[in-house]
Chain A
Amino acid sequence: MFILDTPPDTSTYMIAGYSIFFILIILYLISLFIRTRNLNEDLSILESMKEQSQTATNRPAAAKPAASTGLAVKRKATRPKARKSNQVKKNVIKKK
């Protein structure tokens, strides 16, 4: 480079450099903060889900509602069959 009497005016580049530095650092800090906050929220949700499932499994079998036992499923499974047999009976009567 040539030796100059007065330094060239490059202050715009200096301001741009430091501004971009601070913008990037602040963006990274914001990203760290948001990710940590989201992870804390996820953790609290997952821990409450875990507690709910644990209390459900610890409950005695007699106290469980019918829907959670096999009975309700059995009933549901038998209903369509009963309807079917009734319809077959009706058809037989009609044919007669």
Chain B
Amino acid sequence: MQAKSTALKILDIVSVLLLAVALYLALLYAPEELQMGQVQRVFYFHVATAWTALLGFVAAGVTGIVYLVTKDPKWDIVEVSAVEISLVFFFITIVLGSIWARPIWNTWWTWDPRLTTAAVTELIYIAYFMLREGIEDPDRRARFGAVYTIIGSFSAPITFFAIRLFRTIHPVVIGSGDPSALGTFDMTSKMLVAFMFALFTFSIIFIDLFWNRIRMGYLASKVEQLKLNNMQ
């Protein structure tokens, strides 16, 4: 396999440094929220991981369309990589949200529209990998995967807009949400800096992981091709 390119190595290092700065801003720079206390700091990474994960799911749907048009296997590798990283990020989002909810809502989980749509999205993409595992033929697997991600990608905007469309207790920090939501707060300028920096950092981390995962995908497809050739 080809060695990591210099650009990727630099991106790896930059990602780690950005994460360290984002952590500093979230934990030390941003002021403590008066009503929720320290747990509000979870918000910075919770929203950032959610944002990148949902973008990744939409990107996977777009690459699914590109694959169906071009039939180029490289788009299948890109699609799987996007889904895998988004799945990890979205799982982190759900876990962080649940930890935040315990002291604020007095429960780890509730079947609120946002939480329910988030859980459904996560399950949809877990099922995507189960579907792929069940298909031996690479072309068929890629075709089914592409169609699945196109349909699945609709769950991302539904999850994103759930708190803006339905009556929910999940707070809307940016824009106006349901007045009955619990845990809403007004961001100070320092909080906004920490929040925007976290969004930027997680976008860079997503790109870095995406690149690394695509490299692994190419390697996996090469191994699979060699195995098929040896069997013939």
B71 interface contact, C-beta 8 A:
no
Kindly state the separation between the CA atoms of A42 and B38 in the bound complex, as whole angstroms: 48
Q: Say which one of A33-41, A59-67, A76-84 lies at the interface with B.
A: A33-41
Interface residue tally for chain B (C-beta within 8 Å): 42
Contacts of B209 in A (CB 8 A): 28, 32
CB-based contact A4/B35 at 8 Å: yes
Q: Does A10 contact B (CB under 8 A)?
A: yes
**Is there an interface contact between A7 and B212, defined as CB atoms closer than 8 Å?**
no
Is A20 in the interface zone, CB < 8 Å from B?
yes
In contact, A35 and B216 (Cβ under 8 angstroms): yes
Q: A21-B45, A40-B1, A43-B226 are in contact. Are A10 and B219 (CB under 8 A)?
A: no
Verify if B223 is at the interface (C-beta below 8 Å from A): yes
Residues from chain A with Cβ under 8 Å of B88 in the complex: 24-25, 28
Whether the Cβ atoms of B37 and A8 lie closer than 8 Å is yes
Report the Cα distance A20→B39, complex, angstroms. 14
Q: Is B229 an interface position by the 8 A CB rule?
A: yes
For residue A21, which residues in chain B have a CB less than 8 angstroms away from its CB? 45, 49, 92, 95-96
Per DSSP, chain B at the interface is helix
A13-B42, A25-B92, A28-B88 are known contacts. Are A20 and B99 too (CB-CB below 8 A)? yes
> Which residues from 43 to 88 on chain A have a C-beta closer than 8 Å to any C-beta of chain B?
43, 46-47, 49-50, 53
Confirm or deny: B222 has a beta carbon within 8 angstroms of a beta carbon on chain A: yes
Bound: A96/B215 CA distance, A = 81
Interface string of B205-218 (1 = CB under 8 A from A): 00001001101100
Q: Which residues of B contact A32 (CB under 8 A)?
A: 209, 212-213, 216
Closest residue of B by beta carbon distance from A27: B88
In whole Å, how far is A26's beta carbon from the nearest beta carbon of chain B? Answer: 11
With a cutoff of 8 Å between Cβ atoms, the chain A residues found around residue B96 in the complex are 17, 20-21
Q: Is A1 an interface residue (CB 8 A)?
A: yes
Chain B residues within an 8 Å CB radius of A39: 1, 216, 219-220, 223
Residues on B close to A: CB < 8 A? 1, 23, 27, 32-42, 45-46, 49, 88, 91-92, 95-96, 99-100, 102-104, 182-183, 209, 212-213, 215-216, 219-220, 222-223, 226-227, 229-230
Q: Hey, which bits of chain A sit against chain B, CB under 8 A?
A: 1-4, 7-11, 13-14, 16-18, 20-21, 24-25, 28, 32, 35-36, 39-40, 42-43, 46-47, 49-50, 53
